[in-house]
Structure 1
Amino acid sequence: MARVGICIGLALLAAPLGPLQALAQAYQCRMPRQLAPPKPVTRDGPARPRPIAGYTLAASWSPDWCKTHGNPKAMQCDTRFGRFGFILHGLWPEAARGLSPQWCAATQLPRPQMLHKHLCMTPSPSLLVREWAKHGSCMTKDPAKYYRVSAILWRSVHWPDADRLSRKEDLTAGDFRNAFLARNRDWPRKAIGIHLSRRGWLREVRLCYGADFRPLACDTRRLGTRDDTAMKIWRGL
């Protein structure tokens, strides 16, 4: 099984992204033609290289983030650049136990052209740079490969209609998982992590993978909210 996982992982790293950009659940996406060179990222913790046992694909619900944390002039929240639903927060390597790998040796910053290619998936140049430096550097020495794998996984996910779900009375986390499974039939239910605010608003969905990049049941930390928990989805559109 380990050899199979390694082969699949190498195939993802080597695979071309193809002619289409990976998109967020974007109602519209109009990105600037040019970006300024990225700035170095300041670490928020120690370097922690560790063996990788799996991955998390973290998707933020953009309307809620823009309502609670976002600068209205930030690319993600500024309607001049588009209107977004789910966006890719990042692809995170996970250890078998304990703390996750982070802040491994990142020897190069992504080029602006590289970042631009993925802005409709993650509409924040600074977030793209940070995710590479903090998480991607523990997976590969090449930021292009990190973004390529992230985009391949992102494009493989079919998101449920969150706008429709937001109008459902007595919505629960189980309803969201049911809607996700209806569009992603091969996914294990326990591989769908849902994270809510203290007031029950959808913040993030965390999809769990094994070392072979196949969906795998989340641990308790990543699984988050139970099926019977009431939840709300801020539309913001």
Structure 2
Amino acid sequence: MAAFQPAPTMAQAWQCQPPRFLPRPALELPPSGQVRRTAIDGYVLALSWSPEYCRGRISDPSARFQCSGEIGDFGFVLHGLWPEAKGANYPQYCRAVGVLPRRSVSDNICLSPSPQLLQHQWAKHGSCMAATPDAYFAAARLLFEAIEFPDMARLSREPERGTRLTAVTLAERFADLNDGLPAYAITVQTNSKGWLQEVRICLGKDFKPRQCPAFTRRALAAAQIKIWRGR
């Protein structure tokens, strides 16, 4: 199966400008009993729909960079690149890691616009995949930047025009735009009211799209979804 073709750099955050000063995140230690060093069988690239995440969080200090508009307005952002196992017991917190350097935060804040989220992803997932944060985030960035995204504003209006928008429809729109990315390698997550939260892409050990495992959480293919366009 063909790999993704490169797309314009940071297509979902082209206007993002890292601030001159960024706080360093807090050290994250694994919760008791949460260290798992299971073998890696694949990966998930999790893409968060920022307008939905930011609904009601515009004034939340912990969501400042993602939701206030201070460094840009975001569409999809990288939630994380996660290693998977053969079952639901995915590896996590494989080794102790320190606080991310300021440079690592600055280099990746337009990819995942939260210093603490970057720290969390490195501690929980990156520690099982790469020797350094630079290597981990470089792999995540390469995969993220290879994706061409649908026109989400247009998609969000389809139900208003009488067109049924379902989880499988959204997966198919992604597949149509990306050579080598079949709809069966894409899952959609919604909240309890049917609003889009995330799109996740299932990858094999070679980082190429694969059929999502049966244990993967997802909205039902025929489930109707809604897309929040933001403020």
Q: Same fold (TM over 0.5)?
A: yes
- Aligned equivalents of 2:80 and 2:108: distance in 1? 12
SS at match of 2:187: strand
User: Is 2:173 aligned against 1:179?
Assistant: yes
Give the number of equivalent residue pairs: 218
Partner of 1:48: 36
Partner of 1:199: 193
Deviation at residue 58 of structure 1 after TM alignment: 0.4
Aligned ranges for residues 74-89 of structure 1 at < 5 Å? 74-89=64-79
User: Is 2:20 aligned against 1:33?
Assistant: yes
- Aligned equivalents of 1:96 and 1:84: distance in 2? 33
Partner of 2:222: 228
Partner of 2:51: 63
The alignment's TM-score, normalised by the length of structure 1, stands at 0.85
Partner of 2:182: 188
Q: 8 Å contact 2:24–2:105 — kept in the other structure?
A: no
1:49-69 deviations in Å (ceiling 9; x for gaps): 111000000011011011156
Deviation at residue 43 of structure 1 after TM alignment: 2.7
Partner of 1:156: 146
Deviation at residue 44 of structure 1 after TM alignment: 3.8
> Match of 1:106, as an amino acid?
A
Deviation at residue 165 of structure 1 after TM alignment: 0.3
> Match of 1:160, as an amino acid?
P
- Aligned equivalents of 1:101 and 1:231: distance in 2? 31
1:165-214 deviations in Å (ceiling 9; x for gaps): 00002211122122111211311211001001111000011100000111
Structure 1 gaps, min length 5 = 1-7, 9-20
- Aligned equivalents of 1:236 and 1:37: distance in 2? 28
- Aligned equivalents of 1:98 and 1:222: distance in 2? 8
Aligned ranges for residues 83-122 of structure 1 at < 5 Å? 83-122=73-112
> Match of 1:208, as an amino acid?
C
> Match of 1:226, as an amino acid?
L
1:2-26 deviations in Å (ceiling 9; x for gaps): xxxxxx9xxxxxxxxxxxx952612
- Aligned equivalents of 1:221 and 1:68: distance in 2? 31
Structure 2 gaps, min length 5 = none
- Aligned equivalents of 1:68 and 1:193: distance in 2? 25
Q: 8 Å contact 2:58–2:68 — kept in the other structure?
A: no
Taking structure 1 as reference, are residues 186 and 131 closer, same or farther at Cα in structure 2, changes over 3 Å only? same
- Aligned equivalents of 1:39 and 1:203: distance in 2? 26
Q: 8 Å contact 1:24–1:88 — kept in the other structure?
A: no
Deviation beyond 4 Å, 4+ runs, structure 1? 68-71
1:89-116 deviations in Å (ceiling 9; x for gaps): 0000001123110011133332111111
Deviation at residue 70 of structure 1 after TM alignment: 6.2
